Amino acid sequence: MVDRKYSASLSQTQGRSGFSVIFRHPARRDDATGKLGVRVRRGLGTRDEAEAMRLRDELNGLLGDTKYHDPGARNEAERRFDPRVVDIFFDKMVPEETDFAALREDAIALPESEPDGYRRVLFLGTTGAGKTTLVRQLIGTDPLTERFPSTSTAKTTIHDTEIILAQGGWRAVVTFVPSDEVREYLNECISAAVLAAAKGAEAEVLRRLLNHVNQRFRFSYVLGNGPTVMPSSSDFDDDEEEADELDLLSGEERDVIDMASTVKLLEQTVATLRELARRLGDKLHTELDVRGDDDERVADELFEEELDNLVRDEEEFHRVADALMEEIEKRFDLLPLGEVRKTRQGWPLTWSGEWPVEERAAFLRAISRFSSNYAPLFGRLLTPLVNGVRVAGPFTPTWNGSEVPKLVLLDGEGLGHTPKSSSAVSTAVSRRIEAADAVLLVDSATQPMQAAPLAAMREVVATGNSRKLVIAFTHFDEVKGDNLPNASAKAQHVLASAENVLAAFGEDLGPYAERALRQRLDSARFFLEKIHEPLSEGTASGKRTVLQIRKLLTAIDAVIERPEPPEAHPVYDRMNLVLAIRAAADAFHEAWRPRLGLEFKPGFAKEHWTRVRALSRRLAEGWDDEYDTLRPIADLRKELVERIYVFVQKPLGWEEFQPADDQKQACFDALADNLGPRLLQVCTRRMWHERAEQWRDAYVKHGTGSTFVRARIIGDEIYEPAAPIPDVTPSPERNKFMHEIITEVEKAADETGSVLK
């Protein structure tokens, strides 16, 4: 007999012709409760009611027969049931990873340095420094009428943008964020909106619903700002750009989306969430009986987590999320003409298109739909749903004539406002640095060398990639002072700030790190002004900036493959390596234990429980190895990379002969460069892949005290065995960790001509 708990029902959204199926899955756990029976909603890919009923009945056959509740039974199920039903049932039973970069590569391959003669340039910079504005200058797009890529003083670029400057027609491919990831960000926004209502912050409910706390997902771009009228004031004289804005959507295309219906849905959603907050909040206050003399933070965390658990267990919560996801999916009806590849469940995977060279405007109009942040189009944009854009075409700077430079420009999310220069960059940035031919660090000349760019420079130098570093100081026209009469004085003023950090680099990363950075600041730094405007060599500032950009391009082209190290071989003592590994593990735990709330340490704040849980969710589900600035894998790798780089600069001696400083630098950087990816692989495996079950266990914890239990699992059952601190008392885990790192150093040494004794 079929267990009615595990039976499917049909759903058809008002205004949508397709049918969906809703059921509780007998073999997958609900993330909110940790129990079997996660709620699943999937499209059936049919508009025929009779066919939908047949598919529902077949799905009920799978749900009711326990022999199919194992991933290994998929082959047998495929012989008996409709493939669509099998895909729906077995989806997510075994975690699957999608390589989005490979999907873009299949559509448009990135040209190589050899034999194509291209340079892959990675743009890094803080939010608002102007890196995307510099990209516009290099590809020659108009800042008013074309506006590609999009820029803003706030966080704008949240996906990878890859631009190939090449002769021929225009081509584009876009990859999309998986539906489950979008759904989880949406769930987090819904939960945050309920919490705002429960705390009496009525004005915050809609904003929390439409804007994720870490700014990565702004659902307002997709759904609009809702029933909100912004106050007008003569104090604000907003620049009107509508007349000059590239018309991304025709009137007919705009009519595809009924914004009045969307506004009504958001109004209903806010009302529903307020009622949920009132009902569940009152219940929770009574049950918890939180007293005024309790620790306020503990009481707040307990209330917030319990409310989140209660909300996610409500059927009304899922109905709200279903309705909003359906509204989001409608925006895919706005996809420009092109080829669309979808997942088995109907969610877009890629979109691609091609245009003749004379149809530049049509190409830019189409591609801008995936990257625009133009406020009048809020409610019709796809931007937050995109995780990668790759385009190719005859882009060229307006001041460069018809010559198309052989460049691949790689732009991504800004470095953010990192609080400490010692913070780790993300593993994604580390991989991109490794793959790039040149790393263009864009920094503001008005406040140069703040924490985030310094963190990026540490990564570049400590991984032996300093030869790739090119630095562009923007906003140079805003550097002013009575003691700065000319451009030369301004440049020296900016470089004085850089000079102040060189000594700190030497103290932390060794003399050759300082030496490498000083060389790049001497030979590969450039000063740019007014790059937000079209550049003209007819003005003094335009002429200076064009000259600087030309020199910048020459510096990028001059970045060559690493020179062959000399015949001399550095000799190292592995005992000194052991000390470096111990220091790295110790530093990692010293930073993370207070962040988890397991210890108190001045200078380290305890992370909010929602952020820790969000981190555990992403690693448990295999989505990502970080959440916002919580980057355990990147942190451990950084500590190992930096301390081993210091170790590398202190060989016991040299075989063959004592080389000159430039030759020593080449040896040290070759070893560090070879070692960087190896350490990332070890850290990823030990911290993530080998402890996936512990991450899941940490995530599903809920109820009173679950915040501490989750933190303890992460600190004691994941971090501690993943990176045990070597001690005088040996243990299998300590020995294994030590030997794995030493083995990777030995392999890197063998491949680069170094000797480890």
pLDDT: is 538 or 24 the higher one? 24
- Averaged over 571-592, what is the pLDDT? 95
Least confident of 31-40, 80-89, 660-669: 31-40
Predicted confidence band of residue 153 (pLDDT cuts 50, 70, 90): low
Nearest 5°: phi and psi at 226?
75, -165
Mean per-residue pLDDT over the chain, rounded: 86
pLDDT of 31 reads: 66
- Choose the final residue of a domain: 68, 90, 112: 90
Asked if residue 560 has pLDDT above 80, the reply is: no
Asked if residue 293 has pLDDT above 50, the reply is: no
Identify whether residues 402 and 524 lie together within a single domain.
yes
Residue 646 domain-assigned?
Answer: yes
Of the candidates 588, 581, 620, 579, the one whose C-alpha atom is nearest the C-alpha of residue 736 is 581
Asked if residue 147 has pLDDT above 90, the reply is: no
Residue 520 domain-assigned?
Answer: yes
pLDDT of 17 reads: 63
Identify whether residues 716 and 588 lie together within a single domain.
yes
Asked if residue 156 has pLDDT above 60, the reply is: no
pLDDT of 232 reads: 41
Identify whether residues 513 and 581 lie together within a single domain.
no
Alpha-carbon torsion 139, 143, 149, 153, what sign? positive
The continuous run of DSSP H or E covering 407 comes out as strand 407-411
pLDDT of 421 reads: 54
Identify whether residues 400 and 489 lie together within a single domain.
yes
Give the distance from CA 22 to its chain's centroid. 31
- Residue 202, token pair as written in the block: 């009525």
Identify whether residues 501 and 408 lie together within a single domain.
yes
pLDDT of 28 reads: 86
Asked if residue 569 has pLDDT above 80, the reply is: yes
Predicted confidence band of residue 247 (pLDDT cuts 50, 70, 90): low
Asked if residue 482 has pLDDT above 70, the reply is: yes
- Averaged over 608-615, what is the pLDDT? 90
pTM here is 0.85
Asked if residue 241 has pLDDT above 80, the reply is: no
Residue 150 domain-assigned?
Answer: yes
Least confident of 179-188, 321-330, 373-382, 683-692: 373-382
- Edge-to-edge strand ranges of the sheet holding 9-11: 9-11, 20-29, 36-43
Identify whether residues 657 and 690 lie together within a single domain.
yes
Residue 563 domain-assigned?
Answer: no
pLDDT of 2 reads: 43
pLDDT of 120 reads: 94
pLDDT of 252 reads: 60
Predicted confidence band of residue 44 (pLDDT cuts 50, 70, 90): confident
Predicted confidence band of residue 14 (pLDDT cuts 50, 70, 90): low
* DSSP for 337-387, written as a single string: SSEEEE-TTS-EEEEEEEE-TT-HHHHHHHHHTTT---GGGTTS--GGGEE
pLDDT of 496 reads: 86
Least confident of 90-99, 636-645, 648-657: 90-99
Asked if residue 690 has pLDDT above 80, the reply is: yes
Range of the domain at 224: 179-334
Identify whether residues 692 and 604 lie together within a single domain.
yes
pLDDT: is 4 or 701 the higher one? 701
Identify whether residues 135 and 268 lie together within a single domain.
no
pLDDT: is 598 or 656 the higher one? 598
- Residue 706, token pair as written in the block: 């679950």
Identify whether residues 643 and 718 lie together within a single domain.
yes
Predicted confidence band of residue 242 (pLDDT cuts 50, 70, 90): very low
Residue 706 domain-assigned?
Answer: yes
- Averaged over 278-307, what is the pLDDT? 71
Give the distance from CA 241 to its chain's centroid. 30
Identify whether residues 628 and 707 lie together within a single domain.
yes
pLDDT (tens digit, 9 = 90+) per residue, 325-371?
989 998 898 888 899 998 877 889 999 999 999 999 999 989 988 88
pLDDT of 56 reads: 92
- Choose the final residue of a domain: 90, 119, 140: 90
Residue 587 domain-assigned?
Answer: yes
* Distance separating alpha carbons of residues 389 and 187, to the nearest angstrom: 26
Q: Which residues contact 137 (CB under 8 A, 6 or more apart)?
A: 397, 531, 535, 549
Identify whether residues 520 and 422 lie together within a single domain.
yes
* Distance separating alpha carbons of residues 587 and 594, to the nearest angstrom: 12
pLDDT of 251 reads: 59
- Residue 709, token pair as written in the block: 């239990």
Residue 716 domain-assigned?
Answer: yes
Number of neighbours of residue 535 by Cβ within 10 angstroms: 21
pLDDT of 415 reads: 76
- Residue 232, token pair as written in the block: 């007008």
Identify whether residues 581 and 537 lie together within a single domain.
no
- Averaged over 313-328, what is the pLDDT? 90
Asked if residue 292 has pLDDT above 60, the reply is: no
pLDDT (tens digit, 9 = 90+) per residue, 94-137?
767 788 999 999 999 999 887 888 999 999 988 778 888 899 98
Question: How many domains does the chain contain in total?
Answer: 4
pLDDT of 344 reads: 74
Q: Are 383 and 219 in contact (CB under 8 A)?
A: no
Q: Are 609 and 632 in contact (CB under 8 A)?
A: no
Asked if residue 285 has pLDDT above 70, the reply is: yes
Residue 362 domain-assigned?
Answer: no
pLDDT: is 44 or 724 the higher one? 724
- Choose the final residue of a domain: 558, 582, 605: 558
Asked if residue 668 has pLDDT above 70, the reply is: yes
Least confident of 146-155, 428-437, 612-621: 146-155
